[in-house]
Amino acid sequence: MATYTKLSSGSWRVQVRRKGRYVSETFLRRDDARRWATETERQVDRGETPTKSRIARLKTFGELIDLHIDDMCDVGKSPRRSKAAALNMLQRHLGKCNIAALDRERLIRFGRDRAAQGAGPMTLGIDIGFVKLILTHAAAVHGLPVKVEPVDLARVALKRLGLVGKGHQRDRRPTQDELDKLIAHFDANARQIAPVGQIIRFAVATAMRQEEICNARWSDMDARTRMLLIRDRKDPRNKNGNNQRIPLFAATGYDAWTIVEDRLAKRRNGDDRIFPFNHRSVGTAFRRGCAELDIHDLHFHDLRHEGTSRLFEAGFTIEQVALVTGHKDWKMLRRYTHLKPEALHIIYAAKAA
């Protein structure tokens, strides 16, 4: 039974007591209060959790995205760069779509449009995953009557169409000649502020990511054990607090410890970073250098692949290489490993010795 009370402000408070449940809301108009009370009673009769009026008024998928972001921010888990970019993309493509209209056909059309714009199978799969995440969050956290099944059906259809699937594993490794040219190019450029040649050698020596290198700190280095603590390493589950100590050695053809000693000798200010430079600027300089030297299809992240592969070629086992690269899933580590067949001679000779 619903009870309506007119407040001194002129608003209407409606209280619903039904089957042991009690909920109340306040509305500016009595008609809105009556409609909400009627729907709330129906929800209770169906065994559902009554939906707050603010949530019940949400009509578009874009509003669900905003709701998800607000909830994540409230618990201190605001979307990071990659997730934020994906949600912004969904706002542009599906934000104005009515929740009820977000059916299988609409999602398949979204997938086709994204593929036509250049999104690969893995990227589109991630996009569809975020759509499901938003809908599931709305249903689980707020009790909204949204359907998740159309997303699963659309994923099946897009997979059959070849638009969703596993990404192509990148196996580009720089040749030693390419590395030598790049290092010489940057070392000879007096106008280049960041020591990109040195950073390239350090990247291959440690298999560290571009951002990790530019965030590495003197205070996290142990000179006695020649170990470096990398804070908040990238992790698909949660990188906060995912710290790892790695050795600074010369197992890949470049001596990480010698590079650090050289950086220490050239230290001129109180900046705690070993390489006090913006990682995006380093990436831009690397791409420009590749273009000037006519080196095609080489990314800075390929240096991490190269360092990982060289560790295997030096005879280290999967679990030993993981202590350097930070991979917790050894299956993921395999996709970063592209051994050169001729390296087997060196590995065999080392074991024989």
Residue type, 14: V
- Is residue 165 pLDDT above 90, yes or no? no
Averaged over 158-166, what is the pLDDT? 90
Right CATH for 176-352 from 3.40.718.10, 3.40.50.970, 3.90.226.10, 1.10.443.10: 1.10.443.10
SS3 256: helix
Buried b (16+ CB within 10 A) or exposed e, 190-208: eeeebbbbbbbbbbbbbbb
Lowest mean pLDDT among 72-86, 245-259, 281-295, 328-342: 328-342
Question: Is 0.75 topped by the overall pTM?
Answer: no
Enter the tokens of residue 34: 């009556």
Following DSSP, what letter does each residue of 60-94 receive, concatenated? BHHHHHHHHHHHHHHTT----HHHHHHHHHHHHHH
How would you classify the pairing of strands 12-18 and 2-6? antiparallel
Q: Which helix (DSSP H) or strand (DSSP E) does residue 178 occupy?
A: helix 176-187
The pLDDT, as a whole number, for residue 241 is 64
- Is residue 23 pLDDT above 80, yes or no? no
Confidence of residue 327 (pLDDT cuts 50, 70, 90): confident
The pLDDT, as a whole number, for residue 39 is 78
Closest CA to 94 of 62, 123, 67, 70: 62
Alpha-carbon distance of 104 to 87, in angstroms, equals 19
Confidence of residue 56 (pLDDT cuts 50, 70, 90): low
Show me where the domains of the chain are located.
Answer: 2-53, 61-161, 176-352
The pLDDT, as a whole number, for residue 48 is 66
